[in-house]
Amino acid sequence: RTKALQEFYQRAKDNDESLVINKWLQVQAMADMPNAVEEVKMLTKHEGYESTNPNAIRALLQVFASANPAGFHNPDGSGYHFIADQVIELDKTNPQVAARLASSFDTWRNHTEERKALMQSQLERIKAECTSNDTLEIATRSLA
């Protein structure tokens, strides 16, 4: 798996195919693996991930939060904490993308009591630490 992913990335990089690299990020963000949160965290430091590119952010972070339920909803809350960290950081440079990512928590009331509490605490942290109107609106509306 690792070798195939590396070869695929290298081919896309050599051909300057940013859309293909975004697909490469998406595939990994969706992977149902026990260490999904750690894998996605590592990808945020990979040379193929551009943290200032909204398409790359959506390909990795939004896909993780929306298409990897096992990773995002990890019972220990690490997926929620990771995405909240990303929202808080993105809010400083790209509030619209941060707000979109914060909407990943919109369904927090539909989960088990344990997950509700974990998601709610991250929404409250987002609300407390973010300053943009875009992200604050999403967090405030979700918590209301």
CA angle 139, 42, 76 (to 5 degrees): 55
Write down the pTM of the prediction. Answer: 0.93
53, 95 contact by CB (below 8 A): no
User: HSE-up of 4 (CA within 13 Å, CB side)?
Assistant: 3
127, 139 contact by CB (below 8 A): yes
Give me the pLDDT at residue 104, please. Answer: 96
- pLDDT tens for 116-139 read 999 999 999 999 999 999 999 999
Give me the pLDDT at residue 13, please. Answer: 82
Q: What tokens appear for 141 in the block?
A: 């509306």
- pLDDT tens for 68-120 read 999 999 999 999 999 999 999 999 999 999 999 999 999 999 999 999 999 99
Give me the pLDDT at residue 11, please. Answer: 85
Judged against a pLDDT cut of 90, whether residue 42 lies above it is answered with: yes
Q: In Å, how far are 82, 103, 144 from 44, measured between CA atoms?
A: 11, 20, 31
Percent of the chain clearing pLDDT 70 (strictly above): 100
Closest by CA to 28, choosing from 52, 58, 55, 59, is 59
Count Cβ atoms within 10 A of the Cβ of residue 130 and give its class: 0-12 exposed, 13-18 middle, 19 or more buried.
buried
pLDDT higher at 19 or 11: 19
